[in-house]
Structure 1
Amino acid sequence: MCGRYVVARATSDLLPSLLDGLGPLPDDFNVAPTTVVPVVRERHGERQLPGARWGFVPSWYPDLKKRPQPINARIETVATSGMFRRAFATSRCIVPAQGYYEWVVTETGKQPHYVHQPDAGLAMAGLVTAWPDPARAEDDPDRWVLSTTIITRDAHVAPGEVHDRMPACLTPDSYDDWLGDGLDADELLALLDRDSFEVAHDLVQHEVSRDANNVRNNGPHLIDPLR
C-alpha cells in the first residue's frame, strides 16, 4: 500500500514534463491521510494543480465523517469497483511525489523505509472526485470538496523488499493518455500495468529514522539514510 509519502518543492524539478507551469509544490516530508495534497488533473484540455483531500470521498456520502475513505485503490479492481469505477472512467489524476514510506516490523518495532527513484520523482496514478458540501449554497465556489486516492499494484524488485503492494506510477510518455479521454478501461489498465512495472525497476529503498513513524514530525531529515 502507500500510506505516507513525500512531496516537496524539489519534486517539480524531478517531474518537469508533468509540473511545468503549474505552480510551486508544498514542502511536506510526511504526507498523511486526510492531508490536502496537490494533484494533477486535466479539465477542458488544460492541466490543473488543485488540492485534494487524501482519502476518497464519493459524491454520494452524506458527510465527511462517513467511512471508508480509501487512500488506495487496487489496480486489479479499480475499473469495476462500485467505489471507484466512475472516477476511473472520467476523473483520473496524477499525484506527484518525491518518494514514499513503507514499514517493516522488526523485533524492536516498526522500521520505516524510504522508496524513491534516484534521479526522478514519482507520478503516482490516482483518482479524484468532488463531494458536494450540503452546508454550503449551490453557487458557493467552495461547495465542492476534492478528494483523491492512489492506485496500487503488487510490488516488484526494491519495493517488494519492504511491502507486497506499491503505488502504480506512470512514465512521462503516458501522462497525456492517463489524464485524457482517448483510451478505454482495458487500454488504461494495460498502460498502467506496463508503466508501473517499468518504474519499479528504477526504484531503490533505504532505512530512515523512526522519526517518520510520527506524522507530527516533518522535514528533509526524515528521508536521509540511516548511517
Structure 2
Amino acid sequence: MCGRFALDDKVNADITEFVTATGRQAEEWSWDWEPRYNIKPTTQIPILVDAPKTRELRIEGARWGLVPPWSDSLKLKFPTFNARTEGITGKATWKGPLKSRRCIVPAAGYYEWTGEKGAKTPWWIHPDDGSLGFAGLYAWWQDKSVADDDPARWTLTATILTMPTVDELASIHDRNPVGLPQDLWEHWMDPETTGDQALVDEAVNASRGVMEQLEYHRVMPFKATDDGPQLLEPA
C-alpha cells in the first residue's frame, strides 16, 4: 500500500522537464508545489493529467482518496487512497475512472512501516536519483447541496494504484505502489485509450523494473502532523 509519501523541491523541476519535452504543456505552464514530507490521505496532492478536450498535460490539485461520482458524500465508509490492481475492472469504484480518467501522481518517495502496532518502524523508500510517477485514477465528485455556479460544488479526487510487492521490497510490505517508467506516462494518461485490465497489467509489469531499483532506509518515528526534510534522514 501507500499511505504516506513526500514531494521534495526537486520534483517540480523533474515534472516540468518531462512535460516540456513532450511539447504538450499549456501555453502558461507552471507548477510550483511546495515541498511536503508527510502527505496523508484526504489532503491535497498534485496529479498530472492529459486534458481530454485540449490534450494538454497539466497539473491539478486533487483530494487524495477517490470519491466516485455516484457517492452521496465526500466521506466514504471505506478507504480509497489506494486501488488494488488485481481485478480492478470488477470494482464499481474504479472501473469508471479507469476507462479514461487516469493520471500520474508525482512523488519523491514514500513510507512504509514494519513491526507490531505501537512499536512500528518507518522506512523511507525512494529512487537513487530523480522522482517517481505513480499510476493513478481520478474522478470529479459533485456536491449537489451546493449551488450550480459555486466552484465548491466540484471536488477533484484521486487514488494511487498498488500491486503485489517486488521481491526487493518484500521485507517491508507485501504491496507497493505502481511506479511507472516515464516512457509509459503518456500512454497511461491517454484519455483516448480505453482503460481495461490489460492496460493495468501492462502498467504493473512495467512498474517492476522501477520498483526493483528503489532504495530504502529506516527513519525515526514521526507524528501525523510532522513535516520537513528531517523526516527522510536515516535513523
Establish whether residue 28 from structure 1 lines up as the match of residue 36 from structure 2.
yes
Alignment CA distance shift 1:91-1:188 (3 Å): same
Establish whether residue 219 from structure 1 lines up as the match of residue 228 from structure 2.
yes
How far the C-alpha of 1:65 sits from its partner, in A, is 2.9
- 1:5-154 maps to which residues of 2 (within 5 A)? 5-18=5-18, 20=20, 21-43=29-51, 44=53, 45-105=55-115, 109-154=119-164
Count residues with an aligned counterpart.
224
- TM-score, length-normalised on structure 2? 0.89
Give me the whole-angstrom Cα distance separating, in 2, the residues matched to 1:59 and 1:131: 5
- 1:181-220 maps to which residues of 2 (within 5 A)? 181-184=191-194, 185-211=196-222, 214-220=223-229
Alignment CA distance shift 1:173-1:109 (3 Å): same
Secondary structure at the residue paired with 1:24?
A: coil
CA RMSD across the alignment: 1.8
How far the C-alpha of 1:77 sits from its partner, in A, is 2.2
- TM-score, length-normalised on structure 1? 0.91
Question: Which runs of 5 or more structure 2 residues have no equivalent in the other structure?
Answer: 21-28
Give me the whole-angstrom Cα distance separating, in 1, the residues matched to 2:37 and 2:74: 25
How far the C-alpha of 1:79 sits from its partner, in A, is 2.4
Amino acid at match of 2:40: A
Question: Which runs of 5 or more structure 1 residues have no equivalent in the other structure?
Answer: none
- Contact 1:75–1:152 (CA<8 Å) still a contact in 2? yes
Give me the whole-angstrom Cα distance separating, in 1, the residues matched to 2:71 and 2:117: 41
- Contact 1:129–1:146 (CA<8 Å) still a contact in 2? yes
How far the C-alpha of 1:225 sits from its partner, in A, is 1.2
Could you list the per-position Cα deviations for residues 12-35 of structure 1 after superposition, in whole angstroms to 9, with x for gaps in the alignment? Answer: 234454455441122110001110
Secondary structure at the residue paired with 2:125?
A: strand
Could you list the per-position Cα deviations for residues 99-120 of structure 1 after superposition, in whole angstroms to 9, with x for gaps in the alignment? Answer: 0000001597110000011102
Give me the whole-angstrom Cα distance separating, in 2, the residues matched to 1:180 and 1:57: 21
- Contact 2:87–2:197 (CA<8 Å) still a contact in 1? no
- Contact 1:208–1:225 (CA<8 Å) still a contact in 2? yes
Residue in 2 aligned with 1:155? 165
Alignment CA distance shift 1:136-1:107 (3 Å): closer
Secondary structure at the residue paired with 2:191?
A: coil
Residue in 2 aligned with 1:178? 188
> Percent of aligned positions with the same letter in both sequences?
32
Amino acid at match of 2:106: P
Secondary structure at the residue paired with 1:127?
A: strand
Give me the whole-angstrom Cα distance separating, in 1, the residues matched to 2:13 and 2:217: 22
